[in-house]
Every structure is written in C-alpha cells, then in structure tokens.
Structure 1
Amino acid sequence: MIPDIQECLRLMTSTGMLDNIKRHSFVVAKVAKYLGRLLSLYGHPLNIRLIEAGSLLHDIGKTESLVTGENHAKKGAEMVKKVGYDELVPIIENHIRLLDEELEEPVDEVKLVNYADKRVLHDRIVTLEHRFEDLRQRYGNTPEKREWLTEMERKMKKLERNIFQQLPISPDHVLYLNNDFGYKKLKI
C-alpha cells in the first residue's frame, strides 16, 4: 500500500518531523516527481505515487535520529514498515547509499528519490557539485568521510548521466523548479 499525500503529511506531523526537514522533503518530491513524469513520458514508466510518497517520507526517521544518533535511513524504513507501508521501505532505506552494481540497472523509483535528495540543499534545488561541496563542509571531518563523499559524488554523477541520457533536457533544467511561477507556497 502507498500512502497518499494527506497520509504522508499525517505521518510527518505525528512523528514530530522538524519543519526544515518537511520543507526539504517537499522539494525532493517536486524534483523526483518532475523527473519521474518525464522519464515515464519518454518511455521509462515509473510509479509516480510511489515516488511522491517515498520522497515525502525519505527523511521520516531523521528528527528522531538527531536525538538517538541512529542511522536515519534505517530508522525511517523501520517506521514506515511498522505502519504497513512496505513498498516505501527500499526507497527510505536506500536514499543515502548507492552501490556500483545498481548503477548498471535501469533507473527506478529508489534511485530517482536518492538522486532528487542529492539535488536539494535544505529547501533549494542545486547542482550535484554544490550539494556535495556542502556535504563535504558539514560532514567531511575525517579522511574516511571525505573519501566516502567523493565516491558517492562519482556515483551520483553516473546516475545523473543515466537519467538524463533518456531525456531531452539537461540536469541544469531542474534548477528552474526553484521558481514558484506565481503559485502559492504549500503551508506545512
């Protein structure tokens, strides 16, 4: 079962998700849904409802993990499994890491949410380069962490090429989603 947006909002609220994490999650959903719809339009069908719910809830475990120190992806996966949303578990559990062998497989909902998350810094859409520079500044306090981030950036750039080789736009076009185009901002 896949929760609708109202159920996602209820879960975000009931778990005490911080407002800044909610805003981040909404922008991740915006990017992931946009790319998912484009990929579907260009012959690579994806489940947009799954992408939306997975994007909105990808950081569902983060607020609690800030206190406990747990891995927020694993914690979030446990949380959605507990309430019966098993289809979301792979997206939430795997939104941080990416294995080399997964890069050889077609783009799916899990990889798309992972990529969209890496394109959003707080509540702004940025380039991968910008996002990873920020990640290095915030989390790259040891040689091992810097090496891991460099490797993750390499993988994300490969995933980005895999996504956009199927589309008539470039990764920079996603930056236009930062514009509101006159729509009211969603209150959270």
Structure 2
Amino acid sequence: MFLQPVYFPYDSRWKIPAREKCIQYWNDFKLPEHIREHSRLVALIAENIYHAANKTLHVPVEAVVASALLHDIGKFYCIEHGGFHNQLGASLVMQLTGNPAIAQGVMHHVFWPGEIDVDKFFLPLVLIYSDKRVKHDTIVSLETRFQDLFSRYGLNERMNGLITKSWEQAVAIQNSFNQNFGIDLNARTFDCGRMV
C-alpha cells in the first residue's frame, strides 16, 4: 500500500541542479548511455508540457527538468543489485540536491499514489506521464509504450493488473493535462515541438 503524498508549496530557497550538474551526477553513478538518452527525452517532454500549459505553474521549469534528468539515477544500481530504482533514486536525489520536490518526482515516477491534481502536483505527474511516453530511447504514444510493457512484463495476472492500473493512471493524467491546460498531448510529437 502506498502512502498518500503530501502537498507542500514549492520553496524558492531549494536548490535546483543545472543540466550540467545532472550530467555530472550521471557520471558519478555510471549511468549507461541508453538510460541517459531515455532521461534526456523524458526531460524534453516534461519541459515541452510545462511551456505548453496555458496557466502559471507553481514550480520552476528547472526543477521539472532536473527531476526528469535524474528520475532513473538509481536504475543501473538496481539492475545490478536489486531494489526499487525509484526509492533509491529519490534518496540519492534528496541527498545530492536537498530539494524535496525533485526527490518527490523521482520517488513517484513509477506510480502516483494520490489524487490527480495537475495544479497541486504538476512535477510528479508530468514526470510520470513523460516517462510513459518514452520507450527506451524513442518517443512513442502511450498505447505503444504500454503494449511493450505488457509484452515484456505481463507474465502473470498480478503483473497484468499492475500494468493495467498504471495504464489507466497515465491516461487519466493525460486527460487532466489536456483539460486543465488546453492542449492535446496526443497531437504532439515532442521531439520537434510541432503538432503532428
């Protein structure tokens, strides 16, 4: 069972690592190139959604980008040694940056245990959605991404149920962004910034 996330207003005193610093962290944790490229694309989508929103957001775009660049910082370690990469990553990010908003995005990029309120929880929700639009190192539709997840991980009824729940949440987040920000995420390619 997941604990309900706590809303806390963004504090401008929290430090945000620049892109170059995030890349230094990738180097420090020996992230393979395919995880780096995946993270770059997740950051590209998250930043694109941020700028496409037709309202003021209460979190700086730099925090959104940093969270996206660092969301898989714990993945390579967990591939080699086991564990949950989102939990390890959130712990590392909190230690490295001292920024709880960025760490919250990393912690919850796999699944969001709270209400889908894109105004209150923009950063973690945009990170979940953006991550679900990148299959390995390619920007894809939600449908394509989840077809891949079902084929690779849907090995039993329990796993199929978890993937289905994640699919339903990703669609709900997409619909909420579309409605609240007046955008159509299905019509965006993200890699070129134009509509399809």
Partners of 2:29 and 2:174 in 1: how far apart? 32
Give TM-score scaled by structure 1 length: 0.88
Give TM-score scaled by structure 2 length: 0.84
The structure where helix makes up a greater share of residues is 1
Whether the 8 Å contact between 1:3 and 1:85 is mirrored in structure 2 is: no
Select 1:90's aligned residue among 79, 92, 104. Answer: 104
Partners of 1:142 and 1:2 in 2: how far apart? 41
The alignment partner of 2:110 has SS state of coil
Structure 2 counterpart of 1:43: 55
Unpaired runs of 5+ residues, structure 1, are 182-188
Whether the 8 Å contact between 2:72 and 2:89 is mirrored in structure 1 is: yes
1:74 and 2:87 equivalent? yes
Cα 1:85/1:138, change in 2 over 3 Å: farther
Whether the 8 Å contact between 2:71 and 2:86 is mirrored in structure 1 is: yes
Task: Give the aligned CA root-mean-square deviation in angstroms.
Answer: 1.7
Partners of 2:117 and 2:24 in 1: how far apart? 36
Whether the 8 Å contact between 2:44 and 2:191 is mirrored in structure 1 is: no
Partners of 1:166 and 1:78 in 2: how far apart? 31
Partners of 2:27 and 2:118 in 1: how far apart? 35
Count of residue pairs the alignment pairs up: 177
Segments ≥4 residues shifted beyond 4 Å = none
Partners of 2:187 and 2:153 in 1: how far apart? 28
Partners of 1:51 and 1:92 in 2: how far apart? 10
User: What is the deviation of 1:104?
Assistant: 4.5
User: What is the deviation of 1:47?
Assistant: 1.7
Structure 1 counterpart of 2:11: none
Residue correspondence of structure 1 range 100-139 to structure 2 within 5 A: 101-104=114-117, 106=119, 107-139=121-153
Unpaired runs of 5+ residues, structure 2, are 1-14
Identity %: 25
